[in-house]
Structure 1
Amino acid sequence: MPDLQLLRPDHAPALLAFERENRAYFAASIPDRGDDYFARFAERHRALLAEQEAGICYFHVLVGPAGEILGRVNLVDVEDGGADLGYRIAERAAGRGLATRAVRELCVRAAGTYGLTFLKAAARRDNLASRTVLSRTGFTVVGETLLSGRPGLTYRRPLGDVSRGGAVT
């Protein structure tokens, strides 16, 4: 079973490989990161670690048995007891429940380790997989939004009862 780990400097090579290998797959459902992201990856990785050190964000990777990264699950814009949740799973690992298990584990960490009381998320209406993960992990729809110009839904999840989220098993 993959291990959910807080992002570290030594994750950089595997993370870059993950992003490159899945670029087209991700771009089918979320905005592409653009060529500059890959050209300046090392600089961006250092900046993410600095944000994490400052407590602004918490970045996590799902690490497989061979050290490969199978997904990312992040909490960004931490403030006032909450944060925005975002995640992406490698194409070769999709459909196996990894996102659901990782989001459940992150809900537990968000409450217990990071002291958060709620999480927010958003998903495009046409992204059934992401909407299903959010529903299965205790998020409820609270509104509508546009994501890259396409209709989406906003979600919220209180963290007072992380038992609905459970832990990665």
Structure 2
Amino acid sequence: MVKLERLRPDHADALLAFERANRAYFVRSISDRGDAYFAEFDARHKALLAEQDAGVCHFHVVLDEEGELIGRVNLMDVTADGSAELGYRVGESATGRGVATAAVAAVSRLAATRYGLTSLTAVTTLDNLASRTVLERSGFCAEGEITIAGRPGIAYRLASLSHLGH
């Protein structure tokens, strides 16, 4: 079972360690964050918390049963019409255990119940079968092909969150 916690200032050290430990793993399927991300991490973390406080985004860390940070799942660019973009990443040591699927389900419920959102969008590259599977298992429907950082990708939408609030 995974636990989601809303991003807080005291998550900074664990989150930075998670990102560093998984940098090479993440680069295999998504664009690298670049050295500046790590060099300016503290300022970026504070900026994310400010965005969250403003209601523009909702950031979460994913913890395992022992409380170790094993992933993150975020709702970004919240719009006035109740939509947001879902983003997530799970560390290499936690893959293949249903962590991403559980985290997406949990944040989707939060989106409906706590944040009052009505729909979510997500994107992934065509060759990221694991991510595509997570989204499809979570009720997201493919909307069309796109380009992500020069790579072929696919856009998804979860059109109704109302059923998750019950």
Equivalent position of 2:142 in the other structure: 141
What letter corresponds to residue 162 of structure 2 in structure 1? G
Aligned CA RMSD, in angstroms, stands at: 1.3
Cα distance in 2 for partners of 1:132, 1:18 equals 23
Cα distance in 1 for partners of 2:35, 2:22 equals 14
Secondary structure (helix, strand or coil) at the match of 2:77 reads strand
Mapping for residues 48-67 of structure 1, pairs under 5 Å: 48-67=48-67
Cα distance in 2 for partners of 1:5, 1:47 equals 18
What letter corresponds to residue 43 of structure 2 in structure 1? E
Equivalent position of 1:71 in the other structure: 71
Equivalent position of 1:89 in the other structure: 90
Cα distance in 1 for partners of 2:71, 2:94 equals 8
Mapping for residues 23-34 of structure 1, pairs under 5 Å: 23-34=23-34
Cα distance in 1 for partners of 2:52, 2:12 equals 15
Does the aligned pair in 1 maintain the 2:2–2:102 contact within 8 Å? no
Q: Does residue 161 of structure 1 match 2:163?
A: yes
Structure 1 position 64, deviation (Å):
2.6
Structure 1 position 162, deviation (Å):
2.0
Does the aligned pair in 1 maintain the 2:2–2:103 contact within 8 Å? no
User: How many residues in Structure 1 have an aligned counterpart in Structure 2?
Assistant: 164
Cα distance in 2 for partners of 1:64, 1:13 equals 17
- Deviation per CA, 1:60-109, whole angstroms, max 9, x where unpaired? 00123443210000000000200000000000000100000010011110
- Which TM-score applies when normalising by structure 1? 0.94
Higher mean displacement: 104-113 or 61-70:
61-70
Does the aligned pair in 2 maintain the 1:122–1:153 contact within 8 Å? yes
Secondary structure (helix, strand or coil) at the match of 2:55 reads coil
Does the aligned pair in 2 maintain the 1:14–1:67 contact within 8 Å? no
Cα distance in 1 for partners of 2:108, 2:39 equals 33
| Structure 1, unpaired ranges of 5+ | none
Structure 1 position 161, deviation (Å):
1.9
Secondary structure (helix, strand or coil) at the match of 1:55 reads coil
Secondary structure (helix, strand or coil) at the match of 2:162 reads coil
Between the aligned residues of both structures, percent identity stands at: 60
Cα distance in 2 for partners of 1:14, 1:81 equals 31
